[in-house]
Structure 1
Amino acid sequence: MKANRREWMAGVAALAICAVPLRGFAAVVAPRVPLRAKPLPLTDVRLRPSAFATAVEVNIEYLMSLEPDRFLHNFRKYAGLEPKAPIYGGWESDTIAGHSLGHYMSALVLAWQQTGNAECRRRADYIVGELALCQAQRHDGYIGALGRKTRDGAIVDGEAIFPEVMRGEIKSGGFDLNGSWSPLYTVHKYFAGLLDIHAAWGNPEALRVAIGLAGYFEKVFAALDDAQMQDLLGCEYGGLNESYAELYARTGDARWMAVAERIFDRKVLGPLVAQEDRLANFHANTQVPKLIGLARIHELTGKDDPGRAARFFWERVTQHHSYVIGGNADREYFFAPDTIALHLTESTCEHCNTYNMLKLTRQLYGWQPDGALFDYYERAHLNHVLSAQNPATGGFTYMTPMMSGAARGYSQPGEEVFWCCVGSGMESHAKHGDSIYWTGHDGAGGDTLFVNLYIPSTMVWQDKGLSATLDTEYPFRPDIRFTLDAVKRDGFRLALRIPGWAKGKATITVNGQPAMVTQANGYAFLDRRWKKGDVVALNLPLDLRLEPATGSDDVVALVRGPLVMAADLGPVETEWAGVEPAMVGDNPLAAFAPMVSDRPRYQTSGIMRPGNLVFVPFYSQYDRRSAVYFKRFTQGGWKNEEAAYLAEQARQKDLAARSIDVMHLGEMQPERDHELISDISYPVAYRGRNGRDARSGGYFEFAMKVKPGPLVLQASYWGGERSRVFDILVDGVKIATQRLDEDRPGTFFDVDYPLPEALTKGKSKVKVRFVPADRSSAGPVFGVRLFAARAGAGQ
């Protein structure tokens, strides 16, 4: 009881320390940029039966299975309080601990708004109270669960890195900061969760805790000069600029906007302000939240540069860096624009990227409603986000592979991984109704109801006393019915989004009669005196079409309306051993025949090589293997290409079959998965590939799996390097000295290093180390593969 009283007293102290005059719970700073549309509150939208409603139900079950006190373990421990439950595993037991709690808070808010589940709200308020208690114990405004790793591998309170940063001690290998994994990214998640709870139902304690935390980091940043600040911002910081801008909007305190504007990574954001696409080789999800922050700064200040950068970034990513399902990036990184066909791998389309791109899309739409924005939103929401949760288990994907035959790899029930994409998954599947309906005002003061997504639902527009029901099996069937259940105040236009792919073939009726519509900006506008019982029917053509990968007309995907269709290559449990399918023919669409089914299914006839295939909606292939993109040939072209094409496919398949482990150097998650350690070593990017080097006196080392038998270590290099020399060691034994010179300009090349069997015998993994010669460098190395030697191959 005494401990409880001490905690209660500490909570009272928190209220005193962090107390600020609050001016109400609505934003006290009106946006300088006139927002022309806003979504209906999620509390006024309810989903009717559909795959989206199922996703929400399954997700709430998952949220309820999680224990807030386990997420709070480190917060209490590092604040000097006894934890109430053991810490979760996975990332939550690493130095990035705490990021999941931020996502969890936001997800609880969204789930409460979407369904009215009272337990979600109770848990969110409980978490805020616990964080306030932890903040009071620290006395400086800080809260945190993030850790730092010591030299002996132990994880301790990560708060200690921030006094070091204030002294100018900023050490980062590209993905960490002074021994902690992306700490400011994690701090942003705390802010986001607290601000979401405050916005949803006006919890004043949530705002007080956020203000205390903001004050702590305001002091950290104030201690740095501009060069030091840029060094700090070279490490992932999430959307921290958005959090400070939003805090300004809530409090009216200009100091928070000053911090928001200083959180500006010039290396990435400067070119975007200048309308230059230099995104290649940047970690994709590190960048998207920065632009969400710039968009919010633009809204609140009216300054043009942040808004221009956000618009330009959105256009470049959606039109030049995105796959057909709306996702982007390969192994978490942007690549050169219009080169999708070169990046059809097993590690494409990180979910977090799309989660954030949809947030940015909503912001841009609020400034100027345009149906094209929601053409992208619908594409990504339906095909990527919906595919990223397995409704049978509630598990989430990290990547969604575009490589034929690759499995998605969902997190499993009870598996404590807590990737970033588990966190964003919690949020994405709590709010599927948040962007269906929007309201807006035109220059003449007229009101418009925009229907942007055709998801079965009911809605209430409080200002108009309007309630309505949207009934449809779209995108499986073309018919959409919007019924007005109550109309208390007339005087609004209805705007139905007509997707660009409809090519003007949509039809609209009101109460069964052809409707008079005005078309503009991707919408059909209907003006009439609305009354209860009116039924607006929209029919959208759902024809098959082929969409080329950007920059490659000979690589295509099959799409039906907004729905990406994929070839079914069999169950995940069965290894896929086929040849990557190709499409051959001068009129391929004629070879797709619909099958009898309650969902779109097509059987091919004579068009696919090596054989006919069944195509189904891509998102629904949770436990199946897919083929999305296909190299396309004419009949004549196939005869010329068949032998070389199949030989290359066989070569790649053979190497993949013999591969035991692959290390993608210079990339955050693979380096962590392979236990990389390094000194005087840096990630690099060149010609669209990521890698790592080590300078004189340094090294980099990582673990790779092995198995019995003759093995080969293969490393990839660029052929135009200046002269350098380095050793390659396996478990401390030198296996080669590699010299790089400018003797193979213009190409990457691989070098094979056969391993003595004695070096790997009886082991499950080995340590591979690259060590530069004195006054030289090791690498850059653009990937390492360990594979079994062919039977009969000499050592």
Structure 2
Amino acid sequence: MSDKVKKAVRDFPYGTVKIKEKYKENAFKRELIYLRSLDCDRLMAGFYETAGLTPKKERYQGWEVTEIQGHTLGHYLTAVSQAYGYTKDEDLLERLIYMSAGLEECQREDGFLFASPEKIFDRVEQKKPAWVPWYTMHKILSGLLSVYTYTKNETAKKVAENLGKWISRRCLGWSEDVRKQVLAVEYGGMNDCLYELYSITQREEFLKAAHQFDEMPLFQQLYEGKDILNGLHANTTIPKVLGALKRYCVLGEEEKFYLIAAEKFWDMVVSHHSYVTGGNSEWEHFGKPDILDGERTSCNCETCNTYNMLKLSKALFEITLERKYADFYENAYLNAILSSQNPETGMTTYFQPMASGYFKVYSTPYDSFWCCTGSGMENFTKLTEGAAYKSEDTMYIIRCENCQIYWKEGGVKLAVTCEQKENAYQVKIQVTENSRVMKQPKVRLLIPKWNKQQPAIMENGISAVTEKEWILLERGLEEGHSVVITYTMELECKVLPDNVHACAFVYGPYVLSGDMGKEKMEETYTGVNVLVPQKEILLPDYIVLKKESLEEFYRNPGYFLKKTPGKMQFTLENQEKTLIFTPHYLRYQERYGIYWMVYPEGSKELKAIKEREERRYRLKREQLDVLPVGNDQYELAHHIQGEFTDSDIVDGHSARYCREKGWFSYEMQGEKDGAVLCMTLSGRDRGSVFTLFASGGFQQDIDVPKQQEEFGVLEIPLEKGCFSEEGKVRLKFQCKKGVCRIFDELYLKKKD
């Protein structure tokens, strides 16, 4: 069944737009090689175990042996379905048929299908730590629906429908208190996939179940235009809004509230929480609006967030035909998504650092299986999405890229070829077929936002007219006819809102990054075995102006960054060194800088930034282990335990708390000779008392300081007896009075 909302345009079906660019063809090829290398039986092993059956092979390692196991299978089903839609490759279809049958074998009579025992859902309802089972369920159900969408496989539909029945029975039995508790833990886009299941089956229980995952207090605040994103987990929040928009699409205009909420959320994220690449978040969370320079670290721009923002942008564009959604899609697709894949291995990033001097770190093929590994599988099997759309009588070409487009209803085939020249981007549209099934087919080209001058048009049989942001091709669409449009590219500066000195460079559609070398390219782990880059060396990320003012530099960056003739490369002479800037999406082997601090020579600001960097590295050298509290992945990596405990956000500060009778504990890495525990407390909890226990018999009551109105760090020395020979310590926080609540980061640092 189609959605009730009549969309302005719809995306072209997979396979009707064909990539003809070498870089993107390679990206797709690498993804296919990876997908084919994965063993279906190993991906299904956890499902067989949970069903009480003997797995045919052992499961994969990494996240597939944790409580999030099974999420990869969901992504895999979607990615392979998309790849099949594009290629019609029988090998891919056989994989989907085989896995659908295997999952049917693992499904219980009541519909339950999962790679972990059902009790993990009980733990969420009982306020016990559990790693996001509903998030994983969303991926599994979405994967099954993708199989049905792209192949019409009835087994996949049957399994999805029976799974939907189990989900419905469970969530329709929640009390309001239990429902609130479930919605407090990341649940992905459960509303989104249940609305989709309802759309396919028209079963009312799926509609009611989807409503159970609609977080109305959040949607109401977004509808009112309130930016309440500070401290929210980004990849938890974006799928919720995708579900709200799906509700509008499935149920129709009477649900316009949800469209408005989605539109306002999109505006908040893109205008006030996103970097120049289109990526967002720091350590997976939104910060305060327009505070972006202050959030630049090695853990920005989780790839899953961009994946979901592109989904939202595409859906909003199809409904509204507003160009801002297409503009964002083009930018994030090129500078964040294409940028997330290693073109040699096909592996993808979790984070993309916005702090200068770091480098991209990629997943490993068979022992990572991060969330971004899964969304990466999907990203690179749908590279033509958003390139072109269609209405009843018009084709809309959105992105300037080499491709072939077959518009079946219009009876028209087009070849789009693009060529970069000095400061210009030339696009040729040629009609390769017109079968005349439509009397007067129309084609519209969106003029890129980065084009700064009136496009030059050279007609060769096709008549072209400029109308606002579009170029209209309405006459002369005959086989062999063509038109060539030339856009101009200029070098621009993009400055962050919270620091006028923090500048990125953009040339046409390309975000540029500067080469910062390959010295000490060492990796470390964060969260649950997520690889991230280290920067144990000071790398200057500032540009020093000799005589010019900041305004002059920003007004004419092309005067300072010199383009190399015939290359997409710019050079800048800075402090007796030559900086080389190239398109960021092509960079994957070295440290980089996207944002650069621009200061006049000898300025107080330049001196202060150097001192700040030195202090930052000194603290980093002192820290032994850091835990972002309230972040489920990182807490699980530190083996959280507890009773009557939950996470919270207070004024944008994430927190872990418990009240009387409650407790929580972590295992952390220090040094065998002792360390200093640092925790952030708030004066708003003054009067509360909790007990800190540590291995080896350590016990200390902590009275939250009455005089502390703001958030402050309390340091507690832990002596040698608290730590094992390997330097590990178990820390337990138990409430005695009021509330035991710690904020932000819990960390151990070296003793003085």
Fold shared, TM-score > 0.5 on shorter chain: yes
Map 1:474-489 → 2, pairs under 5 A: 478-489=425-436
1:13 matched residue in structure 2: none
1:785 matched residue in structure 2: 747
Match of 1:143 among 109, 113, 119: 113
1:768 matched residue in structure 2: 731
1:484-539 deviations in Å (ceiling 9; x for gaps)? 211222512221122223234433322299x642323x322232121112222222
Select between 648-657 and 585-594 the one with higher mean Cα deviation: 585-594
Map 1:307-386 → 2, pairs under 5 A: 307-386=259-338
Q: Is the contact made by 2:689 and 2:737 (CA closer than 8 Å) also made in structure 1?
A: no
User: Aligned with 2:514: secondary structure?
Assistant: strand
Q: Percent identity?
A: 29
User: Aligned with 1:187: secondary structure?
Assistant: helix
Q: Is the contact made by 1:185 and 1:239 (CA closer than 8 Å) also made in structure 2?
A: yes
Aligned mates of 2:447, 2:275 — CA distance in 1: 22
Map 1:199-348 → 2, pairs under 5 A: 199-302=149-252, 303-348=255-300
Structure 2 runs not aligned, ≥5 long: 523-534
Aligned mates of 1:786, 1:431 — CA distance in 2: 43
Aligned mates of 2:623, 2:576 — CA distance in 1: 24
In the TM superposition, what is the alpha-carbon distance from 1:735 to its structure 2 partner?
7.8
1:393 matched residue in structure 2: 345
Aligned mates of 1:59, 1:495 — CA distance in 2: 31
Q: Is the contact made by 2:457 and 2:485 (CA closer than 8 Å) also made in structure 1?
A: yes
1:463-483 deviations in Å (ceiling 9; x for gaps)? 222222222256996222222
Match of 1:431 among 382, 385, 394: 382
Q: Is the contact made by 2:131 and 2:632 (CA closer than 8 Å) also made in structure 1?
A: no
Aligned mates of 1:598, 1:70 — CA distance in 2: 48
Map 1:582-593 → 2, pairs under 5 A: 582-585=542-545, 586=549, 587-588=552-553, 589-590=557-558, 592-593=560-561
Q: Is the contact made by 2:647 and 2:654 (CA closer than 8 Å) also made in structure 1?
A: yes
Q: Is the contact made by 2:134 and 2:187 (CA closer than 8 Å) also made in structure 1?
A: yes
Match of 1:622 among 579, 582, 588: 588
Q: Is the contact made by 2:506 and 2:512 (CA closer than 8 Å) also made in structure 1?
A: yes
1:30-76 deviations in Å (ceiling 9; x for gaps)? 43321111111111122123322111110111101111111111222
Q: 1:195 to 1:709 in 2, by over 3 A?
A: same
Select between 582-591 and 230-239 the one with higher mean Cα deviation: 582-591
1:106 and 2:78 matched: yes
Select between 87-96 and 675-684 the one with higher mean Cα deviation: 675-684
User: Aligned with 1:524: secondary structure?
Assistant: strand
Q: Is the contact made by 2:464 and 2:471 (CA closer than 8 Å) also made in structure 1?
A: no
Match of 2:571 among 596, 603, 607: 603
1:463 matched residue in structure 2: 409
Aligned mates of 1:699, 1:613 — CA distance in 2: 53
Aligned mates of 1:720, 1:292 — CA distance in 2: 35
Q: 1:582 to 1:737 in 2, by over 3 A?
A: farther
User: Aligned with 2:607: secondary structure?
Assistant: helix
Q: Is the contact made by 2:282 and 2:301 (CA closer than 8 Å) also made in structure 1?
A: yes
1:534 and 2:506 matched: no
Structure 1 runs not aligned, ≥5 long: 1-26, 148-156, 442-446
1:87-135 deviations in Å (ceiling 9; x for gaps)? 1112211122211111100000111122333211110111111112222
1:16 matched residue in structure 2: none
Aligned mates of 2:669, 2:638 — CA distance in 1: 9
Q: Is the contact made by 2:303 and 2:337 (CA closer than 8 Å) also made in structure 1?
A: yes
1:636-677 deviations in Å (ceiling 9; x for gaps)? xx6122322211111011212333322111112221222222
Map 1:357-756 → 2, pairs under 5 A: 357-414=309-366, 416-441=367-392, 447-473=393-419, 478-489=425-436, 491-511=440-460, 516-520=464-468, 522-571=469-518, 573-574=520-521, 576=535, 577-585=537-545, 586=549, 587-588=552-553, 589-590=557-558, 592-594=560-562, 596=564, 599-606=567-574, 612-634=578-600, 639-707=603-671, 711-718=675-682, 721-734=685-698, 738-746=702-710, 748-756=711-719
Aligned mates of 1:661, 1:360 — CA distance in 2: 36
Question: Structure 2 counterpart of 1:593, which letter?
Answer: L
Q: 1:237 to 1:712 in 2, by over 3 A?
A: closer
Q: 1:704 to 1:405 in 2, by over 3 A?
A: farther
Question: Structure 2 counterpart of 1:704, which letter?
Answer: M
Q: 1:597 to 1:75 in 2, by over 3 A?
A: farther
1:77 matched residue in structure 2: 49
Select between 700-709 and 301-310 the one with higher mean Cα deviation: 700-709
In the TM superposition, what is the alpha-carbon distance from 1:161 to its structure 2 partner?
5.2
Q: Is the contact made by 2:71 and 2:140 (CA closer than 8 Å) also made in structure 1?
A: yes
User: Aligned with 2:630: secondary structure?
Assistant: coil
1:12 matched residue in structure 2: none
1:372-402 deviations in Å (ceiling 9; x for gaps)? 2111001111111112221222222111111
In the TM superposition, what is the alpha-carbon distance from 1:349 to its structure 2 partner?
1.0
Aligned mates of 1:741, 1:458 — CA distance in 2: 67
Q: 1:655 to 1:477 in 2, by over 3 A?
A: farther
User: Aligned with 2:7: secondary structure?
Assistant: coil
- The TM-score, its normalising length taken from structure 2, stands at 0.90
In the TM superposition, what is the alpha-carbon distance from 1:717 to its structure 2 partner?
3.3
In the TM superposition, what is the alpha-carbon distance from 1:458 to its structure 2 partner?
1.5
1:417-453 deviations in Å (ceiling 9; x for gaps)? 2111111111001110122111124xxxxx2211112
Q: Is the contact made by 1:725 and 1:777 (CA closer than 8 Å) also made in structure 2?
A: yes
User: Aligned with 1:206: secondary structure?
Assistant: helix
Select between 687-696 and 54-63 the one with higher mean Cα deviation: 687-696
- The TM-score, its normalising length taken from structure 1, stands at 0.86
Map 1:3-42 → 2, pairs under 5 A: 27=1, 30-42=2-14
Q: Is the contact made by 1:114 and 1:433 (CA closer than 8 Å) also made in structure 2?
A: no
Aligned mates of 2:586, 2:49 — CA distance in 1: 42
Q: 1:779 to 1:484 in 2, by over 3 A?
A: same
Q: Is the contact made by 1:709 and 1:788 (CA closer than 8 Å) also made in structure 2?
A: no
1:191 and 2:141 matched: yes
Aligned mates of 2:406, 2:382 — CA distance in 1: 16
In the TM superposition, what is the alpha-carbon distance from 1:326 to its structure 2 partner?
0.7
